[in-house]
Structure 1
Amino acid sequence: MKALHIITGLGAGGAEQQLRLLLRHLTAECDVVALTNPGQVAAGLTADGVNVTHLGMRGNRDLRAVPRLAELIRAGGYDLVHTHLYRACLYGRIAARLAGVRTVVATEHSIGGSRLEGRPLTAGVRALYLAGERLGLATVAVSPTVAERLRTWGVPGQRIRVIPNGIDAPRFRYDEARRKQARAFHGLPENAFVVGGVGRLTPGKRFDLLVQALALLPINVWLLLVGGGPEEAVLRRTAQMLGVADRVVLTGERPYLPEPGDKEPDLVALLSAMDVLASPSPEESFGLAVVEALAAGLPVLYASCPAVEDQPPDAVPGARRITGGAGAYARELLRLRAAGPGERTVPDVVHRYDIASSARQLMDLYTAALSGSTSEVSSS
């Protein structure tokens, strides 16, 4: 079986890193096309031996990408096309049809209640999404929450298959030596209480709320933000204005699979350096950073996390939902700081999100789709 994965870009975001991890476990022969921004993950995929093509798309309305993509699909002799993220799903489904490949699967990584990958869910965006979705065979939702959002939009339930994001849980196990190395590299005091945040630095992630909370906390509390994005300058200005800039560390994008020759701490080491992870984003499709933090044995404060919320109430004792603003986060962080370090226990729920299991479910979907067993392709 030969499959082509089409994704909007390959920066170090959750969907992009999830794709790289999946390809390490899929038994199909897979190539990857990035419409734009090949980024860090493209280099990592290439190091893994995956053939990566950068299409060079110049914007959302660069229609020349469609025939180029269709020709690439025809030339590659692919049995199946799998698309990821909004722009790639739209252009990839059209191109696959033009190339004569009707077995098209999409994964919906980032649909919120009111936004889709950061863009407002206007009537036009929704109509275009639904028109493109009909050109595929099945849409994979990364959580039951996302599946319900798709049904609410009008995607037929029989076309939806829930396959959760997965992680390589043992890789995230707490490591005291890596904790010390990561703290030393970024100038974090050994005795500091470090609040972490992981994700794209965009307004929707609300990391500014954590900077505001830091201003309400004692001087031995630090903030470590892992990720890059357009809000970096805003966050730095906010920290400066609130007088906490010397206690805020922004690492930029960091992979969780180490790259050859990279001397900076990777995501796994940075999670070991934290004492708690905070995820104040009000609309998440899964909550991958939260699951990774739980795999590192960290307590977690979150505003939205389907990966936790879709489980029984007592399944994730280390995670607590916070509904207020900066003051609410500050109060809970003070409580955790006073309680002292825990045992770094990994909750059982983490093992429900195993990347090998997710890959097996996806291979089952591929096989059913290619065999024409449409009754087996999608289930909600």
Structure 2
Amino acid sequence: MRALHIITGLGVGGAEQQLRLLLRHLPAQCDVVTLTNPGPVAAGLAADGVRVTHLGMGGNRDLGALPRLTRLIRAGGYDLVHTHLYRACLYGRIAARLAGVRAVVATEHSIGDTRLEGRPLTAGVRALYLAGERLGCTTVAVSPTVAERLRHWGVPEPRIRVIPNGIDAPRFRFDEVGRKEARMHYGLPEDAYVVGGVGRLAPGKRFDLLLRALSRLPGDVRLLLVGGGPEEAALRRTARNLGVADRVVLTGERPYLPHPRDDAPGLVDLLSAMDVLASPSTEEAFGLAVVEALAAGLPVLYASCPAVEDLPPDAAPGARRVTGSTGAYVRELLRLRAAGPDERTAPDAVHRYDIACSARQLMDVYTAALAGSTLEVSSP
């Protein structure tokens, strides 16, 4: 089977890194097209032996990208096209159909109650989404929560298949050496209590809440934010205004594992360097950073995480939902700090999200799409 994956960009983000991890486990010959931003994940895919093509799309309204993408699909002789993220799903589905590919699958990574990949869910966005969705065979939802949102939007239930994001859990196992090296690299004292946040620096992630919480926490508490995005300058300005800039580290985008020529630690070691992960975003589609933190044995405070909320209550005893704003996070962080460190072991929830299992389920979807059928919704 020859499959082409089309994604909006390949910067360091959850959907992008999930794609790379999936391709390591899919028993199919896969190429990748990125419409824009061939960032670090593109380099990682190339290092894995995956052919990556940058389409050079100029923006959402670069209609000239459509014939270029159509020609590329037709020339590749692909059996199936799989699209990821809003822009790629829209252009990719149309191009696949124009190229004569009937088996078209999409994964919905980032739909929230009121926003889609950071953009407000207006009537126009919804109408365009539904028009594109009808050109595919199956839409994969990364959680039952996302599946329910799709049904509410009007996507027919037989077209939806739940396949949760997966992780390579052993990779995230706590590493004492990695912890020390990561702290040393960023100047974090060995005895500091480090609150971590992982994700795109965008308004919806609400990392400014963690800065306000930090200003009310003891001086030995540090904040380590891993990710890049449009809010970076605003977050640095807020930290200065709150008088906590010297207690905040913003690492920028970091891959799971650093490139051999990159001396900065990767996400795996950065998770080891943390004492708790805080995820104040209220509109997560899955909560990949939370699951990765749990795999590293971290306690987690979250506002929204379908990956945990869709499981039995005892599956992730180290994860605690926090309702409320700054004060609620301050209280929970003080409670965890006072309780002291616990054994850094992964809970049962982590083992429910195995990337090899997700890849097997996705291959079932591919087989059904090629056979011209659909599969019923299933749970993780």
TM range (shorter): over 0.9
- Aligned to 1:33, what secondary structure does the other structure show? strand
Following TM superposition, by how much is the alpha carbon of 1:368 offset from its aligned partner in structure 2, in angstroms? 1.6
The question of whether the paired residues in 2 share the 8 Å contact of 1:303 and 1:323 is answered with yes
Tell me the CA shift for residue 353 of structure 1: 0.2
Consecutive unaligned residues of structure 2, counting only runs of 5 or more, are: none
**Is 1:138–1:378's contact at 8 Å kept on the other side of the alignment?**
no
- Contact conserved, 2:257 with 2:265, CA < 8 A, in 1? no
Q: Secondary structure at the match of 1:224?
A: strand
For 1:78, the equivalent position in structure 2 comes to 78
Aligned residue in 2 for 1:66:
66
Whole-Å Cα distance in 1 between the matches of residues 354 and 66 of structure 2? 35
- 5 Å-filtered alignment, 1:31-110, equals 31-110=31-110
Tell me what 2:377 maps to: 379
Q: Does 1:274 align with 2:274?
A: yes
Following superposition, the deviation at residue 370 of structure 1 comes to: 1.0
Post-superposition offset of 1:326? 1.0
Does 1:139 pair with 2:139? yes
Q: How many angstroms apart in 2 are the aligned matches of 1:269 and 1:348?
A: 22
- Kindly state the Cα deviation for residue 313 of structure 1 after the two structures are TM-superposed: 1.6
Residue 366, structure 1, aligned to residue 366, structure 2? yes
* Residue 121 (structure 1) aligned with residue 94 (structure 2): no
- 2:258 touches 2:264 (CA, 8 Å); kept in 1? no
Is contact 1:3–1:28 with CA below 8 Å preserved after alignment? yes
Structure 1: gaps (5+ residues): none
Query: Is the counterpart of residue 169 in structure 1 residue 206 in structure 2?
Result: no
Aligned-pair distance for 1:30?
0.2
Give the distance between the partners of 2:257 and 2:85, measured in 1 at CA.
Answer: 21
Amino acid at match of 2:61: R
Give the counterpart letter for 2:334 in structure 1.
Answer: L
* SS of match in other structure, 1:314: helix
Matching residue of 2:230: 230
Secondary structure at the aligned position of 1:225 is classed as strand
Determine the structure 1 residue equivalent to 2:340.
Answer: 340
**Partner of residue 257, structure 2:** 257
1:203-224 CA deviation, whole Å, 9 max, x = no partner? 0000000000000000000000
Tell me the CA shift for residue 378 of structure 1.
4.1
CA distance in 2, matches of 1:68, 1:260: 34
> In the TM superposition, what is the alpha-carbon distance from 1:349 to its structure 2 partner?
1.0
Deviations 1:278-309 (A, max 9, x none): 00001000000000000000000000000000
**Residue identity opposite 2:119 in structure 1:** R
**2:21 match:** 21
One-letter code of the match for 1:280? P
Tell me, in whole angstroms, the C-alpha distance in 2 between the residues paired with 1:332 and 1:22.
Answer: 35
Moved more, 251-260 or 138-147: 251-260
Partner of 1:300: 300
Give identity over the alignment, percent: 83
1:75-98 Cα offsets, whole Å, 9 max, x none, are 000000000000000000000000
* Distance (Å, rounded) in 2 between the aligned partners of 1:250 and 1:3: 37
* Counterpart residue type for residue 204 of structure 2: G
- Determine the C-alpha separation between the residues in 2 that align with 1:28 and 1:18: 16
Indicate the residue corresponding to 2:209 in structure 1: 209
- Aligned residues: CA RMSD: 0.7
SS in 1 for 2:301: strand
Calculate the TM-score normalised by the size of structure 1: 0.99
Give yes or no for contact 1:104–1:137 (8 Å, CA) kept in 2: yes
The one-letter amino acid of 1:379's match is V
